[in-house]
Structure 1
């Protein structure tokens, strides 16, 4: 299944721990998407999330249902390591 990076921009600071995580994961399960992990900016107004999903459309549908932004969704297929090597995500 393809992998995607999602950039999310929030109006208010993201509260940690994310109390809505169980609900978001339930919606994701229903849309066949899997939240792997997220990075949170220092100002807590942006997150960068790695997801596994069948399509961008599935991610956008899950985000809309969960009431979270999905401002930029980019399909990715590997990581470039400090050695310069490309390592597949799967």
Structure 2
């Protein structure tokens, strides 16, 4: 399945509480994604909490956009990516 990097901007910052309410929000996103064949792998959040860089597996950029809209999440850009493992090159040089 293709992997995508999804860039998002949150003008007021991303605030997910570290409690049951936050867990419920995240579970809702995961459930909605799964209904459309999309898996949220993990995310990176900038120190100011205004930008996120999220890694997703999904069938297409359109599927990623659909679930983002259903989850009420912004999308600045979607880029298909693949892993570049620097240790692969280190191991080859041995």
Which residue of 53, 68, 74 corresponds with 1:69? 74
Alpha-carbon distance in structure 2 between the residues aligned to 1:17 and 1:41? 16
Partner of 2:7: 7
Alpha-carbon distance in structure 2 between the residues aligned to 1:51 and 1:73? 10
Name the count of aligned residue pairs. 84
Higher helix share: 2
Runs of 4+ in 1 over 6 A off after TM superposition: none
Alpha-carbon distance in structure 2 between the residues aligned to 1:47 and 1:79? 21
Larger Rg: 2
Deviation at 1:9, TM superposition (A): 0.4
Over aligned residue pairs, what C-alpha RMSD do you find?
A: 1.6
- Could you tell me which runs of 5 or more consecutive residues in structure 1 were left unpaired when the two chains were aligned: 86-90
